[in-house]
């Protein structure tokens, strides 16, 4: 009962965090507010035992799956070299450089433990970044690379962590060739399992939908289980569960699983996933806040026994490690900017070639650390010497990266255009024109077929002419004629406003009939749901 009450309290805190952020006179990013609220809960003796393995299974697969669904496979492949350079090469460079530095400056930390900490510090958090800078502040092309990096380096960091822990506890021997081969097997295996399992899952789901007559509730629940199943199967096969969840999310949109689903299921699925990702993201940062006081308490308690280092020295090491992380990241970005064109299937230069110094700094400080880092460092076994120092340093890096990003990024982004949609608007108008042309051809064929059928049955053909002319006429306004585009837009907006007013009036009338007991509860729910779906379609929120 106590655990259930804590879960309800956490859901409430996550829900209210967005409200608190809006009410404050100063702008505080949502992740930082949720961490602060978690600290406040801990001050009132609210504590949740943090199980890193359970945390990874419960929160990470659905969040990465949702990010994978929103990722364009075409753009991801297009930016593949940049993403690999940041999510793989930079991770390896950071682990080796930082691992040896930590082993050098921390007296009780072995090299393998230093490499383990460096591994958990390598993953970046695009979700926290979005909460800090807001939507559209970073250019679309740059944000795609940062988000792609965040999707991939979670896996590279945690896989490297597992190897480092195995070496630290004596289960493996450091061999760069063997580790490299195993790394690629684990990564490629995870990606393959996610793709293959999702395609199989989509076909099974279609059969289930046929048996259940496309019940949206069943489809949404089964879709929600997909990332967990992909993650667990990949882990059981000793592959990367994180990469399996990512590739599963990226495969869903291409499998036709949701594209072929009924409209109701698609609308409810989008709403459900939006709610779940908000709650799960909030849980992650609130739990981080709840853990902070206990981490600090354990650090001070164990430091009283450990005479090899002082707490103030650990604080300086946190600042030094953060400087090394940012410096290494900036140096690698600068190196890729000046890297010559290489024949990796294309002679296109890396995107970083066009980056200014300000863009390099933005991409550097955009590498904030978050939940994966905390879960990774807490999964380091208690038997490893100097573990409390590793946990303290990782926690400090998370907080400093968030705070520094809050201060530095708005300064670097000052003067940038927020969400310039002019190019996208022009593309939308052009695509709508081509769509309308195809629709007109299909409707004209349909109209001719209906006229032939009704001629035999002697049915009034004026209705067909009237409806066909009205629908085709509205489509013709979209066909790309420059002098009609603005009028078409005005006409569509006016029609949308009128239809929304009509829907509101219908809903009011329906509610009044329910109050007067002139309609049954079942009929009211059915018609009200139809109005909701129609309103979503008209308003464009679907």
Judgement on whether residues 530 and 409 belong to the same structural domain of the protein: no
Phi, psi for 16 (deg, rounded to 5): -80, -20
Instruction: State the residue for tokens 């801990």.
Output: 42
**What is the pLDDT, as a whole number, of residue 54?**
82
Tell me the average pLDDT across 527-537.
Answer: 76
Cα dist from 264 to 61, 216, 417, 442, whole Å: 25, 7, 36, 25
| Dihedral (CA of 175, 177, 180, 182) sign | negative
> Is residue 491 one of the residues assigned to a domain?
no
Q: Is the pLDDT of residue 424 over 80?
A: no
Cα dist from 483 to 145, 409, 421, 426, 490, whole Å: 38, 42, 21, 14, 12
Domain's final residue, options 371, 394, 419: 419
8-state DSSP, 45? T
Judgement on whether residues 358 and 412 belong to the same structural domain of the protein: yes
Under the phi-then-psi rule, with left for phi > 0, alpha for psi from -120 to 50, and beta for the rest, what region is 415? left
pLDDT in tens, 37-66: 999 998 888 887 777 778 778 888 888 888
> Is residue 487 one of the residues assigned to a domain?
no
Tell me the average pLDDT across 72-100.
Answer: 86
Tell me how far apart the alpha carbons of residues 127 and 448 are, in angstroms, rounded to a whole number.
Answer: 53
Tell me how far apart the alpha carbons of residues 154 and 119 are, in angstroms, rounded to a whole number.
Answer: 10
Judgement on whether residues 428 and 505 belong to the same structural domain of the protein: no
Burial of residue 104 (CB within 10 Å: 0-12, 13-18, 19+) is exposed
pLDDT in tens, 264-312: 677 777 778 888 888 888 888 888 888 888 888 888 888 888 778 888 8
> Is residue 493 one of the residues assigned to a domain?
no
**What is the pLDDT, as a whole number, of residue 507?**
81
> Is residue 25 one of the residues assigned to a domain?
yes
Judgement on whether residues 263 and 141 belong to the same structural domain of the protein: yes
Question: Coil, helix or strand for 225?
Answer: helix
Domain's final residue, options 453, 480, 507: 480
Tell me how far apart the alpha carbons of residues 279 and 256 are, in angstroms, rounded to a whole number.
Answer: 27
Q: Please indicate whether residue 418 or residue 406 has the higher confidence score (pLDDT).
A: 406
8-state DSSP, 89? I
Judgement on whether residues 399 and 511 belong to the same structural domain of the protein: no
Tell me how far apart the alpha carbons of residues 398 and 405 are, in angstroms, rounded to a whole number.
Answer: 11
pLDDT in tens, 225-272: 999 999 999 989 988 888 899 899 888 877 766 666 666 677 777 778
Tell me how far apart the alpha carbons of residues 495 and 477 are, in angstroms, rounded to a whole number.
Answer: 13
Judgement on whether residues 388 and 452 belong to the same structural domain of the protein: no
Tell me the average pLDDT across 140-155.
Answer: 82
Instruction: State the residue for tokens 């035992």.
Output: 49
Instruction: State the residue for tokens 């009237």.
Output: 466
Q: Which domain holds residue 462?
A: 420-480
Q: Is the pLDDT of residue 421 over 70?
A: no
Tell me the average pLDDT across 343-367.
Answer: 80
Cα dist from 365 to 61, 141, 368, 454, 491, whole Å: 26, 17, 7, 68, 45
Tell me how far apart the alpha carbons of residues 377 and 121 are, in angstroms, rounded to a whole number.
Answer: 9
Judgement on whether residues 318 and 445 belong to the same structural domain of the protein: no
Q: Which two tokens stand for residue 470?
A: 């009205």
Average pLDDT score over the chain? 80
- 370 close to 287: Cβ distance less than 8 angstroms: no
Tell me how far apart the alpha carbons of residues 199 and 218 are, in angstroms, rounded to a whole number.
Answer: 18
| Dihedral (CA of 476, 480, 481, 486) sign | positive
Q: Which two tokens stand for residue 454?
A: 């009704």
Judgement on whether residues 47 and 189 belong to the same structural domain of the protein: yes
Rg over alpha carbons for the chain, rounded to the nearest Å, is 28
- 160 close to 360: Cβ distance less than 8 angstroms: no
> Is residue 485 one of the residues assigned to a domain?
no
Tell me how far apart the alpha carbons of residues 461 and 472 are, in angstroms, rounded to a whole number.
Answer: 16
Judgement on whether residues 239 and 278 belong to the same structural domain of the protein: yes
Cα dist from 65 to 155, 189, 432, 520, whole Å: 13, 17, 30, 41
> Is residue 489 one of the residues assigned to a domain?
no
Q: Is the pLDDT of residue 542 over 60?
A: no
| Dihedral (CA of 479, 540, 254, 200) sign | negative
Instruction: State the residue for tokens 């700094």.
Output: 361
Domain count, the chain: 3
Judgement on whether residues 473 and 509 belong to the same structural domain of the protein: no
Judgement on whether residues 428 and 532 belong to the same structural domain of the protein: no
Q: Please indicate whether residue 476 or residue 165 has the higher confidence score (pLDDT).
A: 165
Tell me the average pLDDT across 349-364.
Answer: 86
> Is residue 427 one of the residues assigned to a domain?
yes
Domain's final residue, options 433, 450, 480: 480
pLDDT above 70 covers a percentage of the chain that reads: 84
The domain spanning residue 104 has which CATH number?
A: 1.20.1530.20
Judgement on whether residues 407 and 429 belong to the same structural domain of the protein: no
> Is residue 346 one of the residues assigned to a domain?
no
């Amino acid at each position: 009962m106590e655990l259930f009450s804590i879960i309800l309290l956490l859901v409430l805190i996550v829900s209210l965090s967005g409200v608190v952020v809006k009410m404050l006179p100063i702008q505080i990013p949502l992740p930082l507010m949720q961490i602060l609220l978690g600290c406040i809960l801990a001050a009132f003796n609210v504590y949740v035992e943090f199980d890193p393995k359970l945390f990874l299974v419960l929160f990470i697969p659905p969040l990465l799956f949702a990010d994978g669904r929103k990722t364009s496979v075409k753009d991801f492949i297009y930016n593949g070299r940049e993403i690999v350079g940041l999510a793989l090469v930079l991770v390896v460079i950071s682990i080796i450089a930082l691992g040896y530095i930590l082993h050098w400056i921390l007296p009780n930390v072995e090299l393998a433990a230093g490499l383990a900490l460096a591994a958990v510090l390598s993953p970046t958090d695009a979700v926290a970044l979005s909460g800090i800078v807001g939507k559209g502040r970073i250019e679309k092309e740059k944000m795609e690379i940062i988000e792609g990096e965040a999707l991939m380096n979670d896996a590279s960091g945690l896989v490297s962590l597992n190897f480092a822990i195995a070496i630290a506890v004596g289960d493996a021997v450091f061999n760069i060739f063997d580790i490299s081969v195993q790394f690629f097997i684990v990564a490629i295996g995870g990606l393959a399992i996610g793709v293959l399992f999702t395609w199989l899952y989509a076909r099974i789901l279609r059969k289930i939908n046929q048996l259940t007559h496309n019940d949206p509730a069943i489809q949404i629940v089964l879709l929600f289980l997909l990332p967990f199943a992909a993650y667990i199967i990949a882990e059981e096969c000793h592959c990367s569960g994180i990469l399996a969840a990512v590739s599963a999310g990226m495969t869903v949109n291409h499998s036709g699983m949701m594209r072929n689903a009924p409209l109701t299921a698609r609308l409810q699925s989008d709403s459900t996933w939006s709610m779940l990702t908000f709650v799960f993201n909030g849980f992650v940062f609130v739990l981080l806040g709840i853990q902070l006081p206990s981490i600090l308490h354990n650090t001070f308690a164990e430091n009283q026994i450990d005479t090899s280092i002082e707490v103030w020295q650990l604080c300086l090491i946190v600042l030094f490690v953060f400087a090394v992380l940012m410096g290494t990241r900036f140096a690698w970005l600068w190196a890729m900017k000046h890297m010559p064109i290489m024949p990796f299937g294309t002679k296109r230069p890396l995107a970083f070639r066009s980056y200014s110094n300000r863009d390099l700094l933005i991409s550097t400080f955009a590498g904030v650390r978050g939940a994966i880092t905390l879960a990774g460092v807490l999964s380091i076994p208690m038997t490893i010497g100097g573990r409390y120092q590793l946990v303290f340093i990782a926690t400090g890096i998370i907080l400093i990266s968030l705070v520094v990003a809050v201060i530095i990024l708005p300064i670097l982004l000052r003067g940038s255009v927020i969400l310039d949609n002019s190019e996208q608007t022009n593309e939308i108008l052009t695509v709508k024109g081509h769509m309308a042309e195809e629709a007109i051809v299909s409707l004209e064929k349909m109209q001719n077929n209906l006229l032939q059928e009704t001629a035999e049955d002697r049915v009034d053909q004026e209705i067909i002419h009237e409806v066909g002319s009205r629908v085709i006429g509205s489509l013709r306004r979209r066909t790309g004629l420059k002098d009609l585009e603005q009028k078409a837009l005005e006409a569509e907006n006016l029609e949308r406003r009128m239809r929304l007013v009509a829907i509101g009036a219908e809903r009011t009338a329906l509610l009044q009939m329910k109050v007067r007991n002139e309609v049954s509860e079942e009929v009211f729910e059915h018609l009200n749901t139809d109005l909701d779906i129609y309103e979503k379609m008209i308003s464009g929120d679907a």
